[in-house]
Amino acid sequence: MKKEVVILIAKQFFKKTFHQKGLFILLFIFLAVLAYVTTNSWLAFDEHEHVVEHHQDESRKSWDNNPDKHPHRMAHFGSFVFRAQHPLSIFDSGIESYTGNAIFLEAHKQHTANFSEASLSTGLVRFGDLNITMLLQLILPLIIFFLGYAAITSEKENGTLKIIHIQGAKIKEILLGKSLGLFFVSAIFFLPAFIALWSIGFLENHNLENSVAIRSLLITLSYILFYMILCCVTVIISGKSQNSNKALLSLLGIWLLFFIIIPKMAQVVGNSVYPNLSKIAFKAAVEEEISKKGDSHNPDDPYFNSLRDSILKVYNVTNVKDLPINYSGFVMSKGEEQSAIIYNKQHNKLIDTYKKQNSITNGLVIFNPYLAIKNLSMSFSGTDFNTYVSFLSQTEDYRYKQSQYMNELQMKFISNKATSSEGKINVIDKSYWKTVPKFNYEYISISKTISTQLPAIIALVFWLLFMLLFITKYSNLFKII
């Protein structure tokens, strides 16, 4: 195989494509929409970031400025945690529109994340918002199919394919050259999007060190593999088709099947095979299990009565008033520990159900490059399901430590003679509120993201190698006329 011939055919296809007046109109429309959605996404991100920082600071000030108070009352006063978006959500919003942005944290209760964009918007957002990745994952593949469907069939119809072959160009060289030329044409469409992607790392200062640059590089490489696959598929279908009309219909069928039907059906099948509990049913299941274990706020609860007898025996006293620690605080800490275990158990079951639902889609990445690039794009942009679950897990860990710290303060500073948490006597100094650390969310590491999305990476590499192998080894299957 001669590389010079492949490059020559690629250049010829590139020049021929740009002789079409409709290409410039299509390119102008695509770039105009791309510029609009990029600007809109950037402004929306900045606004969201400003709102999150403002409300997080207000919540912290409200917490720090509380007066002298009983620790348990402070634990129920609680605090808010607001979810900050990853800078690369400008590029790929993923599931950001459908997940909650704020969680109220208090003792003994695990609240859900609320105020998602979808819940505050019209029903149209459920059809998907217009963003950069929608253009790159759905619209651009369709454009590639339209630009390349006649790459080989037009040569057949004009009789030039046989002439090129007689002059010394092998079929595999023609196919590779057309694929390369089509990729160069498609690059004019997607390069501006990646320029915007790389600009995010330079213009947004988020103290994420070089992680944004590395993620941007991985996203870029993933999309390049994806578009190479699409170009090869387009040229192969064109080469196997008898005429341009059949090639176009075949590619449109592939687009509908792989980009629309299979992803939607996978979601429906996942929800049907692995149904999940509703929000009300989940809360009811947690409360029912907690009620069976005992109520830490009830002094006559059988479970905590036995706990009281145990601690009295440990300290060798007969009355809780003689304990060196505040007994109520001790009970609250045990109740918090118990309710947290129950909640995490039920929550993990729910998350496992969602993961099983997603496993249907994830299992199809090896057969569908679109699902592979979709998963990779969301994961590297920090807008996928795993990132959201990580946020929920970290907020619950923070809530638990905050509540237990309040219980420790109660055990240490509140007298056992105190009959309630009311009044100005049974309180501690407000300076202790400021000792509670601020919530600091950490994104999933790049290495962990790569290991999670390894099947998708392998799928893209496999598809590209398979396409190239098919072109080079089985070019004799393609008819010249």
pLDDT tens digits in sequence order for the chain, 481 residues long: 688 889 999 999 999 998 887 899 999 999 999 999 999 999 989 999 999 999 999 999 999 999 998 898 899 899 999 998 899 999 999 998 888 889 999 988 888 887 666 555 555 455 556 789 999 999 999 999 999 999 999 888 888 888 887 888 888 999 999 999 999 999 999 999 999 888 886 776 555 556 888 999 999 999 999 999 999 999 999 998 888 999 999 999 999 999 999 999 999 999 999 998 888 888 888 888 877 776 666 656 667 777 778 888 888 888 878 788 888 888 888 888 888 998 999 999 999 999 999 999 999 999 999 999 999 999 999 999 999 999 999 999 999 999 999 999 998 888 877 665 555 667 899 999 999 999 988 899 999 999 999 999 999 999 999 999 999 887 776 766 5
DSSP 2: -
Structural domains in the chain (count)? 1
Crossing angle of helices 244-255 and 211-240, in 10° steps, is: 140
Q: Which residue has tokens 């190239």?
A: 468
C-beta contacts of 374-378 below 8 A and 24+ residues apart: 374/133, 374/137, 374/263, 375/453, 375/456, 376/218, 376/219, 376/222, 376/453, 376/456, 376/457, 376/460, 377/91, 377/92, 377/94, 377/133, 377/137, 377/219, 377/222, 377/223, 378/92, 378/94, 378/95
> How many angstroms separate the CA atoms of 79 and 56, rounded?
9
E strands, 148-236, are: none
E strands, 300-360, are: none
Question: Tell me: the pLDDT tens digits for 53-97?
Answer: 999 999 999 999 999 988 988 998 999 999 988 999 999 999 988
Contact 230, 143 (CB under 8 A): no
- The values of phi and psi at residue 130, to 5°, are -80, 115
Would you give the distance in Å from CA 383 to the centre of its chain?
Answer: 3
User: pTM here?
Assistant: 0.91
Structural domain harbouring 16: 3-477
